[in-house]
């Protein structure tokens, strides 16, 4: 670029009225904020502004009020149901399980008349609130919801396009901002300040300062305010364009424009250093913030840890982790960080953080359950699962980890894993109950897979488990025309007489 974009930024920004220092004087108190409240507001703020949908009267001819239509009433009830389901999950855990989101989505589709705010709620749930789902899968989920809701008659406005933009940014989805604007224009939907802010962020994610400058200039021509969100994006944009110095100078430009750097700006700068593995500047920035502003929220430090892991610098994570105050209110944040790390293949880092938190929460003996369940869901090999189980048991962070992952395997129909877990339990002298085989037998029965049924019976026999009459009558014999056929085939297929030790 012939002219530094920082200079261009200054020229554009100073043409805009000075903005209040939102964080000035208040930054020290940010450290106690609960992320659960912040993330919950993501959903609540959408809905609480839309309660009018249940009471808006329909008018015909003269000013005559008519009863609220059945469709409006149904939409309002659907909306409240969906809100309560998703909002409760966010407030309790800071996240939304994919299964819950899909359930709400399917219920909406089944009823067939999605409202505007209900659709918005579904879209907004497809980003950072799904830490157990890969970013690419979250974006696919958002696209599926977008297409299906449109098919069912949903009408999209600026807020829906902005929600989709935010999902793209949170999921690091690559897309063309110009094509996105063209889609909005084609749909006769006008972009607003938030749209432009997020398009700038999209350009900056790719280090495209020229594209960002065009949007910034357009915002200036429309007298739209330049907020902290824009500056935070510019920090990342300059860094990804290879100009670290300009990225650092953005903070000075902000102050000159009357905008105080807040947590988002510092997070953007810290992530810039994390992507480069520049731990010295990370420490320097954190120390400067401690002296001048108070301290950064622990959730910011957790995101820096995630950035270091993704960038391939796990050796520096301990330096950041030791600055985090692992207090009780941080449980949802810590859990979601661990889940995100496992999702992206950094299970060892995740486990290290989990064990650190144990020191401040000794009363929870099974606090590793969420971690083990996600490892099972991510198809972790048995060798790795057993390692985690052993360490959790030694650290007194779980009372029965092997039994727990057996349950997870059975609930997710992972028959091979379930058998491996039972073998590991046998090696450790843990009791194996006949009913552990029931979910496996039911699964193979549904598939009409006799070979699978025989394999389960054989494994249980090898493990020394004497199956009771209930197991055979309810879960085995139903696969055959009669008991005689069942006994004959079982003897031939397993090469052992399995029916003999049946307990009554």
> What's the rounded mean pLDDT across residues 134-148?
98
Rounded Cα distance between 281 and 291, Å, is 15
Per-residue pLDDT of 50-98, as tens digits, reads 332 222 323 333 334 445 566 666 666 666 777 788 888 998 899 999 9
pLDDT at residue number 391: 95
Q: Is the pLDDT of residue 421 over 80?
A: yes
> Once rounded to an integer, what is the mean pLDDT over residues 165-178?
98
Q: Within the chain, how many helices (H) and strands (E) appear?
A: 26, 2
Measured over the CA atoms of residue 330, residue 332, residue 333 and residue 335, the dihedral's sign is positive
**According to the model, what pLDDT value does residue 489 have?**
73
How large is the average pLDDT for residues 395-415?
94
Residue 305 reports pLDDT greater than 50 = yes
The tokens describing 11, both together, are 């020229």
| Residues 6+ positions from 473 with CB-CB distance below 8 Å | none
Give the pLDDT of residue 362: 53
Question: What pLDDT was estimated at residue 24?
Answer: 34
* For the ranges 5-9, 80-84, 136-140, the one whose mean pLDDT is highest: 136-140
Highest mean pLDDT among 158-167, 256-265, 450-459: 158-167
Q: Which residues contact 316 (CB under 8 A, 6 or more apart)?
A: 274, 277, 279, 282, 308
- Mean of the pLDDT values across residues 346-368? 80
pLDDT band at 405 (very low <50, low <70, confident <90, very high): very high
- Tell me the average pLDDT across 343-348: 98
The percentage of residues in the chain with a pLDDT greater than 70, rounded to a whole number, is: 79
Q: Which two tokens stand for residue 501?
A: 């030790």
Summary mean pLDDT of the chain = 83
113 — pLDDT class (breaks 50, 70, 90): confident
157-160's contacts with Cβ under 8 Å and 24+ in sequence apart are 157/116, 157/189, 158/184, 158/189, 158/190, 158/191, 158/192, 158/194, 158/195, 159/120, 160/116, 160/119, 160/120, 160/123
pLDDT score recorded for residue 290: 86
- Average pLDDT over every residue of 267-292: 94
Is residue 135's pLDDT more than 70?
A: yes
pLDDT at 394: 92
| pLDDT tens digits along 189-222 | 999 999 999 999 999 999 999 999 999 999 999 9
* pLDDT at residue number 325: 83
- Condensed to tens digits (0 to 9), the pLDDT of residues 426-439 reads 999 999 999 999 99
Percent of the chain with pLDDT over 90: 63
Chain position carrying tokens 């070979």: 451
Segment 349-374 shows an average pLDDT of: 82
**Domain ranges within the chain, ordered by starting residue:** 36-56+66-171, 262-324
**Contact call for residues 253 and 283 (beta carbons, < 8 A):** no
Q: What angle do CA 303, 304, 309 make, to 5 degrees?
A: 95
Residue 9 neighbours by CB distance under 10 Å? 25
What's residue 161's pLDDT? 99
DSSP 34: -
Question: Higher pLDDT residue, 312 or 499?
Answer: 312
Is 80 exceeded by the pLDDT of residue 26?
A: no
| Predicted local distance difference test score (pLDDT) of residue 79 | 67
Higher-confidence residue of 82 and 162: namely 162
What's the pLDDT at 71?
A: 60
pLDDT of 49 reads: 34
pLDDT band at 230 (very low <50, low <70, confident <90, very high): very high
Say what the pLDDT of residue 36 is: 39
Does the structure show a pLDDT above 80 at 9?
A: no
pLDDT at 315 over 90: yes
Report, as an integer, the average pLDDT of 144-159.
96
């Amino acid at each position: 670029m012939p002219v530094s974009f920082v200079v261009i930024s200054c020229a554009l920004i100073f043409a805009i009225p000075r903005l209040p220092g939102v964080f000035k004087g208040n930054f020290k108190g940010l450290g106690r904020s609960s992320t659960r409240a912040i993330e919950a507001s993501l959903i609540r703020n959408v809905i609480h502004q839309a309660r009018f949908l249940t009471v808006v009267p329909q008018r015909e001819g003269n000013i005559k009020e008519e009863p609220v239509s059945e469709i409006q009433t149904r939409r309002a009830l659907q909306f409240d149901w969906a809100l309560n389901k998703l909002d409760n999950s966010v407030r309790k855990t800071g996240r939304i399980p994919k299964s819950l989101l899909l359930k709400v989505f399917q219920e909406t589709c089944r009823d067939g008349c999605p409202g505007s705010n209900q659709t918005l709620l579904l879209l907004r749930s497809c980003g950072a609130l799904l830490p157990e789902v890969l970013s690419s899968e979250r974006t696919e989920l958002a696209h599926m919801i977008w297409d299906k809701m449109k098919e069912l008659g949903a009408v999209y406005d600026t807020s829906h396009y902005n929600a989709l933009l935010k999902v793209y940014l949170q999921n690091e989805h690559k897309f063309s901002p110009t094509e996105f604007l063209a889609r909005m224009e084609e749909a006769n939907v006008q972009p607003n300040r938030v749209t432009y802010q997020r398009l700038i962020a999209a350009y900056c994610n790719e280090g495209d300062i020229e594209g960002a400058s065009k949007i910034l200039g357009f915002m200036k021509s429309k007298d739209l305010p330049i907020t902290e969100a824009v500056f935070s994006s510019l920090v990342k944009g300059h860094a990804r364009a290879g100009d670290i110095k300009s990225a650092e100078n953005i903070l000075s430009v902000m102050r000159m424009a009357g905008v105080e750097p807040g947590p988002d700006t510092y997070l953007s700068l810290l992530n810039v250093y994390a992507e480069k593995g520049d731990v010295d500047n990370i420490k320097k920035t954190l120390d400067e913030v401690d002296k001048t502003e108070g301290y950064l929220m622990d959730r910011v430090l957790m995101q820096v840890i995630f950035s270091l892991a993704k960038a391939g610098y796990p050796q520096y994570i301990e330096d950041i982790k030791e600055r985090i105050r692992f207090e009780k209110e941080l449980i949802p944040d810590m859990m979601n960080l661990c889940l995100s790390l496992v999702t992206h293949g950094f299970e060892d880092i995740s486990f290290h953080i989990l064990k650190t938190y144990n020191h401040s929460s000794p009363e929870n003996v099974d606090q590793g359950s969420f971690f083990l369940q996600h490892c099972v869901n991510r198809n972790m090999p048995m060798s790795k699962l057993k390692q985690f189980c052993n360490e959790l048991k030694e650290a007194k962070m779980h009372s029965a980890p092997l039994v727990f992952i057996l349950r997870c395997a059975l609930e997710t129909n992972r028959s091979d894993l379930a058998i491996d877990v039972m073998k590991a339990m046998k090696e450790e002298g843990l009791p194996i109950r006949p009913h552990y085989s029931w979910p496996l037998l039911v699964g193979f029965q549904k598939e009409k897979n006799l070979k699978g049924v025989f394999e389960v019976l054989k494994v249980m026999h090898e493990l020394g488990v004497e199956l009771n009459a209930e197991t055979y009558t309810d879960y085995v014999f139903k696969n055959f025309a009669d008991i005689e056929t069942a006994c004959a085939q079982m003897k031939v297929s397993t090469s052992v007489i399995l029916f003999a030790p049946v307990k009554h």
